[in-house]
Structure 1
Amino acid sequence: MNSLKLPDIAAQKLLHVTPLDWVGMCAIALPIQLEGRHVAAMADAGVNLVDGKSRGIHMSRLYLALEQLEHQALTPLAIHQLLADFLASHEGLSTAAHLRLSFEHLLKRPALVSPLAGWKSYQVSVDARLENEMFHVELSVRVPYSSTCPCSAALARQLIQRQFEADFSGEVLNRESVLAWLGSSQGIVATPHSQRSQASVQLRLRNNLDTVPVTELIDAVEASLGTAVQTAVKRADEQAFALANGQNLMFCEDAARRIHQALRELDIATAFTLRVEHAESLHAHDAVASSQWQW
């Protein structure tokens, strides 16, 4: 039997004392429990290294500690305990611990009118930090939606009015002819432009929550806008979507204000920041607006 002790190179002292802000691992495959189901996540885990005389940290201790997230629901309390374990396993070496979880959140969404439904994927990340007894968790989501330009809608309506005047000048109008005109390409000569848009929201969660409220946050953002992108649709759903866009005309500034107000009404955050991007169909550039509260 070999009695030689295994070498621990990381424990060797260094001649040059240089503390490090973050040392750890990125893109660790990890199953987590969220809202009653298992989700495949990627974890970044690390600590700072304040003892500059130490060559490195014990990465295996961080890796093994992550296992506890497999066996319990993801909550701020569970994350706090994990980061506390990171620091306990690096006593004397580290004073701050960090965790980032990235994953896709799948939600099955019903069509607007028909009985169809389909899955939507939302990009989500959870960032947490524990340092000097100060702990916070931040939840970030990206929510796609449709936006129709109010200016474009007004210009299109004016062109339709002009066409109406040209087609019916001097005529005695009757209901049937007007209805036929409205339903023809001859009458609706212009349409407003819409664009695929995206809202990126980051909330600093309250530490006493019993869950990480991903679906609640997504629902609040989509409800505030009224034009969430769809999955499976029939023509009736497409028509309902056109109606929703027509009733929710918005510049990027309007979208940002809607989301800001919706987030202020949620009782799950102590601060937030948001950014909306409208991928212009008129221009080659995008329209962007951002807002924050207590950030």
Structure 2
Amino acid sequence: MHSHENTARLLPDVAVQAQPHLAGALDWVGMDGIEVPVRFDAGDGSIERASAQVGAFVNLTRPDKRGIHMSRLYLLVDRHLSANPLDAATIEALLRAFLESHHDLSDRARLSIRFDHLVRRSALRSANSGWRAYPVSIEASLGADGFQLELGTEVVYSSTCPASAALSRQLIQEQFARDFDAGKPVDHAAVMAWLGSEQGIVATPHAQRSVARLLVRLADGVGFNLISTLDRVEGALGTPVQTAVKREDEQAFALANGGNLMFCEDAARRIQKALDADPRIADFHVRLEHQESLHPHDAVAYASKGVPGGYGSAG
């Protein structure tokens, strides 16, 4: 009876069989959608566990080699990410392990990690709170240009159109002129009743759910602080979507929308200013999408920090 070791040596391995008619170097080879648990500190000191999808890749520099060692990448992902909290050091160590395991085949490695992180958010007025799931993406690479790390997430918010608000106000003024004779004294009680009626407020501005997709490159030595970045962006916008909502919270949200009228260009500049003031962020790229309720298409704007050779120069 053969030992496990002896049996393994007898297993065929067609990957080592060269195919000269198909020789060529490859940019990236690996796996995507690897399922693995990760532990992540979003900046509040609490390490939370999440179910992640991971992509693990190396390049293939040897034209004469048919493929890479997929199982080595998988086992390294499992070993490193299951045992250690996500931080820059863990990710860089994993990429170095990728290259060490393929020292004769590869000189570049790449890793992507995608998961959702839950953050507890308080209501605007009531004592309630609820959970918001923010998508997190981490992209990292290691090669001749060194170690690169990027953090991505999304902020969902409400945007009320300034043009629509102005047009609505004009219609309300015109309705007031029709309902109240300019030559007669205005009765305070009548005006109050009119303002609280559908007859008085004949038009309302359109608003839409909007999404800001953020990609940030952190300064050297800075740890992940997702919550700080989210707070900064949501504070700049003023109208992030809510979780638990009672009537007083909904009214407060309506007030916030009225005080934060914005085109997508306005929202982009608000976020640009907020992130530009964060010393932890070396560069950033933002894509804003206002999912129009007036049009069947979306209004879109992009913004970046403007670092020479950074995101903005990539177009």
What is the Cα deviation at residue 292 of structure 1?
A: 1.7
Contact 1:76-1:137 at 8 Å conserved across structures: yes
Q: Match for residue 150 of structure 2?
A: 138
Q: Does 1:78 align with 2:83?
A: no
Q: Match for residue 160 of structure 2?
A: 148
Structure 1 moving runs of 4+ over 3 Å:
1-4
Q: Does 1:286 align with 2:291?
A: no
Relative distance call for 1:196 and 1:268 in structure 2 (3 A) is: same
Name the SS of the counterpart of 1:119 in structure 2.
strand
Written as runs of structure 1 = structure 2, the 5 A alignment for 1:223-238 is 223-238=235-250
Name the SS of the counterpart of 1:45 in structure 2.
strand
Q: Match for residue 18 of structure 2?
A: 13
Q: Quote the Cα distance in structure 1 between the aligned partners of 2:57 and 2:87.
A: 19
Q: Does 1:100 align with 2:106?
A: no
Contact 1:41-1:103 at 8 Å conserved across structures: yes
1:68 to 72, 80, 91: 80
Aligned residues: 294
Gaps of 5+ in 1: none
Q: Quote the Cα distance in structure 2 between the aligned partners of 1:249 and 1:270.
A: 29
What is the Cα deviation at residue 133 of structure 1?
A: 5.2
What is the Cα deviation at residue 70 of structure 1?
A: 1.7
Q: Which amino acid aligns with 1:55?
A: R
1:179 to 182, 187, 192: 192
Q: Which amino acid aligns with 1:218?
A: L
Q: RMSD between aligned alpha carbons?
A: 1.4
Contact 1:137-1:207 at 8 Å conserved across structures: no
Sequence identity percentage = 51
Q: Quote the Cα distance in structure 2 between the aligned partners of 1:269 and 1:136.
A: 13
Gaps of 5+ in 2: 42-46
Q: Could you tell me the TM-score, scaled by structure 2's length?
A: 0.90
Q: Match for residue 44 of structure 1?
A: 55
Q: Does 1:244 align with 2:256?
A: yes
Name the SS of the counterpart of 1:43 in structure 2.
strand
Name the SS of the counterpart of 1:284 in structure 2.
coil
Note the alpha carbon deviations across 1:15-60, whole angstroms, 9 max, x for none: 2431111111110111111111111110000100001111111111
Written as runs of structure 1 = structure 2, the 5 A alignment for 1:192-207 is 192-207=205-220
Q: Quote the Cα distance in structure 2 between the aligned partners of 1:133 and 1:168.
A: 72
Contact 1:159-1:189 at 8 Å conserved across structures: yes
Name the SS of the counterpart of 2:20 in structure 1.
coil
Q: Quote the Cα distance in structure 2 between the aligned partners of 1:56 and 1:8.
A: 11
Q: Which amino acid aligns with 1:115?
A: A
Q: Which amino acid aligns with 2:169?
A: R
Note the alpha carbon deviations across 1:185-210, whole angstroms, 9 max, x for none: 12111111100111111112234123
Name the SS of the counterpart of 1:127 in structure 2.
strand
Q: Does 1:190 align with 2:203?
A: yes
